[in-house]
Amino acid sequence: MSKSLDTSTSEAEQTVTDVVDGIAATTPDVRRAIADHRGQSNSVNPTGDDQLAADLRADELFERRLLDIDGVATYASEERADVKATDGRLHVAMDPLDGSSNLEPNSGMGTIFGVYSERPPTVGTNLLAAGFVVYGPITSMVVARKGRVHEYIVEDGDKRVVDDDVTVPDDPTVFGFGGGVDSWTEEFESYAEEIRHELKLRYGGAMVADINQVLTYGGVFSYPELESRPEGKLRVQFEGHPMAYIVESAGGRSSDGNRSLLEVDPDALHERTPLYLGNDDLVDRLEASID
């Protein structure tokens, strides 16, 4: 049973460190899973997305590694209906393999995670840390904790820091908008029309790689509300909260169209949300345009 915890304690900090190191240590096996488990699994995840064998394998690898950490009480993921509980204090929520539709064309993919003080579904302000892994030409990891963002290179499961203060550059360069122009609302379409004349298109189908571009070059990423799908596509707990925590810790902004994504308090574990992330003025403009 998870006990209430003063999450500022060194015990909680150590658990966060153990989770980050555990995820780094699992990345070689995930890269192998991407190479060896390329087929369909003939199943769908709780939000109805087709699951690849690599999705399931990555989920299994992270669950085993993270529930083995003393301070971890629960493991939740985009790939499974329910939260897996054990003794411990902190709660991990993950998208084990983000962008798995990029597997076939061998394009960017990643892992997204959040460490919460309360059992999901829970509000984003209960995050203690968040991060993502990019399985690109090299394996890199971005981790936000205590208001600071670090970037690491991960080799053979060991991470080494390459930037100890990642911040969103002041002069934005790139944008990436999902959902398809014919599905956008009129308001978002007019915002997108302005942005596309100001910034360069960088949309690769995996938010980890696209948001890593925004962290590197400045700009804005969105999977907006759609005419047919006002709730958007991306999941609050596994994608929206962690990415918002990272971008806000790096000096940017997040929004669901009205407020910080960290203020979104999902009723259900697999709830979706419109998602806007990037330089604060670009997100401010977005909110003003879709008001």
What residues line the site for ligand AFP (CB under 6 A)?
49, 98-101, 178, 205-207, 223, 233-234
Q: Which is nearer to ligand AFP, 234 or 244 (CB)?
A: 234
The least CB distance from residue 49 to ligand AFP, in Å, is 5
The least CB distance from residue 229 to ligand AFP, in Å, is 10
Q: Which is nearer to ligand AFP, 19 or 58 (CB)?
A: 58
Q: How far apart are CA 247 and CA 98, in angstroms?
A: 17
Q: Kindly state the tokens that stand for 133.
A: 């892994």
Residue 213, Cβ neighbours under 10 Å: how many?
A: 20
**Closest residue to ligand AFP using C-beta atoms:** 101
Q: Which is nearer to ligand AFP, 12 or 206 (CB)?
A: 206
Q: Which is nearer to ligand AFP, 90 or 142 (CB)?
A: 142
Type of residue at 146:
K
Closest CA to 206 of 278, 115, 135: 135
The least CB distance from residue 170 to ligand AFP, in Å, is 25
Residue 114 · residue 130 · CB < 8 Å: yes
Q: Kindly state the tokens that stand for 153.
A: 């290179």
Residue 264 · residue 233 · CB < 8 Å: no
CA atoms within 13 A on the CB side of 141: 25
The least CB distance from residue 10 to ligand AFP, in Å, is 34
Q: Which is nearer to ligand AFP, 98 or 118 (CB)?
A: 98
Q: How far apart are CA 57 and CA 97, in angstroms?
A: 9
The least CB distance from residue 7 to ligand AFP, in Å, is 28
Q: How far apart are CA 154 and CA 151, in angstroms?
A: 10
Q: How far apart are CA 38 and CA 193, in angstroms?
A: 37
Q: Which is nearer to ligand AFP, 99 or 219 (CB)?
A: 99
The least CB distance from residue 244 to ligand AFP, in Å, is 14
